[in-house]
Structure 1
Amino acid sequence: MTLKLAAIVESLSSEFDARLAGDPELLIERLSTLEQATAHDLTFLSHPKYAGKLAQSAAACVVVSPSVEAPAIQRGACIIVDDPYRYFARITQLWKRHHSAEPAVAVHPSAFIDPLAAVAPDASIGAFACIGPGAVVAAGVRIAEHCVIGRNAAVGKGSRLSARVTLAEGCSVGERCIVHPGAVIGADGFGFAPHDGRWEKIEQLGGVRIGNDVEIGANTCIDRGALQDTVIEDGVKLDNLIQIGHNVHIGAHTALAGCVGVAGSARIGAHCTIGGGAVVLGHLALADHVHISAASVVTRSILKPGNYTGFFPIDDNAGWEKNAATLKQLHALREKIKQLEKSLKGSAA
């Protein structure tokens, strides 16, 4: 399947002020990277520092910013727009719509829908899915194979749940959300009271509330709250294999990369980013616009916007052991320095 350049630009014309330089009838067969694009591919150049690769690209058309318009036109067909990266993101969405077959609006014969559930007539329910009593599945929802929608759970308009997603009892997903395979929303949080060397379970009585336009990666787990709900606000993006503990609150349009762990009752602000493998300890607060580097461990609340990093630099093992041993003596060395400073001041007097 192909798309003409003119059709691509026209489809996005209501949102972007883009100009096409080149043949509008040129057919695009594939989207690709700048380096790997062939004579039938569309690609993009998002940063001027990669402009040197532009002339070598064999792409049929390149989406570029006005700053590299001249060399782009000299190379061949191009689309000039202020934000090439976002424009290309919209092209990928357009491509997906044109090249992916939408599932038929139907309930598979093997799916189970409880008589007390409310499922919109235009919802699609895949094979072996199970919809519990009191559950609400809104208009345009797509629920794939082997999903479980628990008692009194709710899925908002236009959301898509991939295979094997579990939305547990009393939890809700907003509108236009995407939940990838194997995600579990609403499992019990890690709550236990110690007693006589044993653990007494604390029943998790809250739920999970997920806002609109949220995307949740494969095998990510979001625990239900202990008493109050765990909350994921509008526009949040969660990568694969993320653990969100009970009673966590994540602000709007925050993004967490793969394998992030957020412990219980942490509160993360809006428009934050947390790099892959990072950890946020429980009961901490992160202000809006806080950015945490990959593999960092957040051990205190961060109340000012900014970029933060917290990890011990990697080294060969022998060097690391020496540095670690020195680090253990840091407090004692600090006290010795303070004593020396006092002695020097006393001598000067």
Structure 2
Amino acid sequence: MAQSELSFLASELVAQLGGTLQGHDLRVRRLTSLQQATVDDISFLSNPRLRADALASCAGVLIVTEKTAQILGDGRTLIVADDPYLYFARVARLFHPVIKAKPGVHPTAVVAASAQLAADCEIGPHVVVGERTVIGSGSRLLAGVVVEDDCVIGTDCVLHANVVVYPGCRLGDRVELHSGSIIGADGFGLAWDKQDNYWYKIVQTGGVVLGDDVEIGANTTIDRGAIEDTVVENGVKIDNQVQIGHNDKIGAHTAIAGCTGIAGSTEIGPYCIIGGAAMIAGHLTIPAKTMIAAATPVSHSIKQADHYAAVYPLQTHKEWVKNAAYLRHLREMHHQLKKLEQLLMAQQTSEIVNQE
């Protein structure tokens, strides 16, 4: 992202975002890391392990907690906030405000006669808008976007280059789809034909519904439902290269990190956090506020919210080969242990009888 041309006094940031200003009221022109910051920059410290970096930083203004402010002492310009990371995110938005739509339709765009476009929406080069599709106020469809028939795009949405929205999908307000994401492709629905020995495709007649303030990462795919819709509720954030299967339901404000795969007909509750490369099987449920660690396989429904993880830690190949040899014999070892338990119980019972 290009450097912002905006600048702010520290007092202006506090006036807009809250917090407490300590030290001189300096003007800052850029938000950057502790290591790269100069006197004209603002940076933040949210991880206590980086306090040494904060002490050495040349940043003109630092966003810190009250405890860190006491450690840094006098002589620095500080903005004291309860959550420096969240404060940093809000400062970043001030430096890089949301780009507003440039109303108009590019001459290379192809827009169906029955489509309804808000007067202030932006339709970029080589965009295709299908029949009966509705594009809301302030929305931006950038280069190469395809929105097929009977779709609804809400207000102030951003569809980045080469996004594809299949027929009959509905997006709420302020939805952002990053480049290459595909909304509403067919779900993986197949029935095996025993007589002719081939997979018979099940027509996918549902759609995809995205709630308000949903953000979908680059090259992420969300399949349309087989009969009912696939639903992603308000405020959900999905990273790059994630697969959401048909008829899934993702609860409000859940966050899903990159390369996660979720099979069809799974319901994930609100406020969940799914780590990168998690693999979630189909036809199961995950309750609200569940955390699943990166690369964790989830093969059955979860009944109680908690922090779940199930991955072998990194090992050398030599160690893994040795452990794998034991894994292959777990069933046999289990039976042997059961026999030993039975023998031990029999021996203890015999001793008790003899004592009597």
Q: So what's the TM-score if we normalise by structure 1?
A: 0.94
Query: What RMSD in Å do the two structures reach over aligned CA positions?
Result: 1.5
The correspondence for 1:11, drawn from 13, 16, 20, is 16
1:73 is displaced (CA, Å) by 5.0
Q: Deviations over 1:79-121 (max 9, x none)?
A: 1111211111111111111xx7645222111112111111110
| 8 Å Cα contact 1:72/1:78 also seen in 2 | no
Query: CA–CA distance in 1 between the matches of 2:75 and 2:55?
Result: 6
Query: CA–CA distance in 1 between the matches of 2:58 and 2:83?
Result: 22
Query: CA–CA distance in 2 between the matches of 1:326 and 1:201?
Result: 42
| 8 Å Cα contact 1:128/1:146 also seen in 2 | yes
Q: Structure 2: state its 5+ residue gaps.
A: 350-356
The correspondence for 2:167, drawn from 147, 166, 169, is 169
Q: Superposition pairs for residues 120-135 of structure 1, below 5 Å?
A: 120-135=118-133
Query: CA–CA distance in 1 between the matches of 2:319 and 2:21?
Result: 56
Query: CA–CA distance in 2 between the matches of 1:319 and 1:73?
Result: 49
Q: Which amino acid aligns with 1:22?
A: G
Q: Which amino acid aligns with 2:315?
A: D
Query: CA–CA distance in 1 between the matches of 2:267 and 2:124?
Result: 36
Q: Deviations over 1:214-267 (max 9, x none)?
A: 110001000000011101011110000111110111111111111100011111
Query: CA–CA distance in 2 between the matches of 1:320 and 1:81?
Result: 46
Greater shift in the superposed pair: 206-215 or 188-197:
188-197
Does residue 23 of structure 2 align to residue 22 of structure 1? yes
Does residue 216 of structure 2 align to residue 211 of structure 1? no
Q: Structure 1: state its 5+ residue gaps.
A: none
1:341 is displaced (CA, Å) by 1.0
| 8 Å Cα contact 1:31/1:43 also seen in 2 | yes
Residue 320 of structure 1: SS of its match in structure 2? helix
Aligned residue number for residue 200 of structure 1: 200
Aligned residue number for residue 222 of structure 1: 222
Aligned residue number for residue 93 of structure 2: 93
| 8 Å Cα contact 1:292/1:307 also seen in 2 | yes
| 8 Å Cα contact 2:6/2:95 also seen in 1 | no
Aligned residue number for residue 57 of structure 2: 57
1:324 is displaced (CA, Å) by 1.7
Aligned residue number for residue 274 of structure 2: 274
**CA 271–184 in structure 1, closer or farther in 2 if over 3 Å, else same:** same
Query: CA–CA distance in 2 between the matches of 1:73 and 1:313?
Result: 41
Q: Which amino acid aligns with 1:19?
A: T
Residue 56 of structure 2: SS of its match in structure 1? coil
Structure 1: which 4+ aligned runs deviate by more than 3 Å? 100-103
Task: Specify the structure having the higher radius of gyration (Cα).
Answer: 2
Q: Superposition pairs for residues 120-159 of structure 1, below 5 Å?
A: 120-159=118-157
Query: CA–CA distance in 1 between the matches of 2:47 and 2:330?
Result: 43
Q: Deviations over 1:55-81 (max 9, x none)?
A: 111101001111222344524111111
Provide the aligned length of Structure 1 versus Structure 2.
Answer: 342
Greater shift in the superposed pair: 206-215 or 330-339:
330-339
Q: So what's the TM-score if we normalise by structure 2?
A: 0.92
Aligned residue number for residue 312 of structure 2: 312
| 8 Å Cα contact 2:101/2:138 also seen in 1 | no
Aligned residue number for residue 113 of structure 1: 111
Query: CA–CA distance in 2 between the matches of 1:286 and 1:167?
Result: 27
Query: CA–CA distance in 2 between the matches of 1:314 and 1:70?
Result: 39
Q: Which amino acid aligns with 1:70?
A: Q
| 8 Å Cα contact 1:124/1:143 also seen in 2 | yes
Aligned residue number for residue 190 of structure 1: 188
Taking only the aligned residue pairs, the percentage that are identical comes to 41
1:336 is displaced (CA, Å) by 1.1
